Structure 1
Amino acid sequence: MERLEGCKGCTESVKVTPEKLERLIAIAVKGRTAVSDQEYDRRMDMCLSCPALQYGTTCRYCGCLVAVRARLQDSICPFPVVPRWC
């Protein structure tokens, strides 16, 4: 598969169902601290309006699934120069 220029971890064929995304979040949060629903929504609003969001799920700068990263307390936004949230 051809890699999309600028994206570190995905190709055009990447598709993540909402159900799979929820399972991945649950796995990532296990044993870690999650942010509140309010903070998660705030972070996701910023991610969803970010020009680096690809396929509606993936960050172009780090290749992560933004919903997973936004849920974890110890995560920061990988946006260059100034993170959009931390």
Structure 2
Amino acid sequence: MARETACKACGEEYRVTEEQIARILAAPMFSSELCVSEEEYRERLECCRTCVKLEGGFTCRACGCIVPVVAKLKGRTCPLPGGGRWPKPIG
């Protein structure tokens, strides 16, 4: 059974599943130069897993993003004040 979680700002009718996230990450844009390396992606996700702002394993309460999707993108940074939790970009 798929794990589901709700955004704190969304009603009960809005749910994000692991399958939906996997489908998003399978899109061609997520295998392009717009994305961080797999190593950097894993580091970002690990930082988020230990963050008190992570809700339900998917949602960042600091910005409302779907963490596994946003963490993959080079142009994004951790939204926490004071520089965020993600390591500086590799390379």
TM-score by length of 2: 0.71
Quick check: 1:32–1:72 contact (8 Å CA) kept in 2?
A: no
TM-score by length of 1: 0.74
The whole-number CA distance in structure 2 between the counterparts of 1:35 and 1:50 is 20
Higher relative contact order (CA 8 A, sep 6+): 1
Structure 2: where are the runs of 5+ without partners?
A: 1-6
Aligned residues: 80
Partner of 1:67: 68
Partner of 1:36: 37
Partner of 1:19: 19
Normalized per residue, the structure richer in helix is 1
Query: Aligned in 2, Cα 1:30/1:57: closer, same or farther, shift over 3 Å?
Result: same
| Cα RMSD, aligned residues only | 2.4
Normalized per residue, the structure richer in strand is 2
- Paired AA for residue 69 in structure 2: V
**Alignment of structure 1 residues 41-52 onto 2, 5 Å:** 41-52=42-53
1:64 match: secondary structure: coil
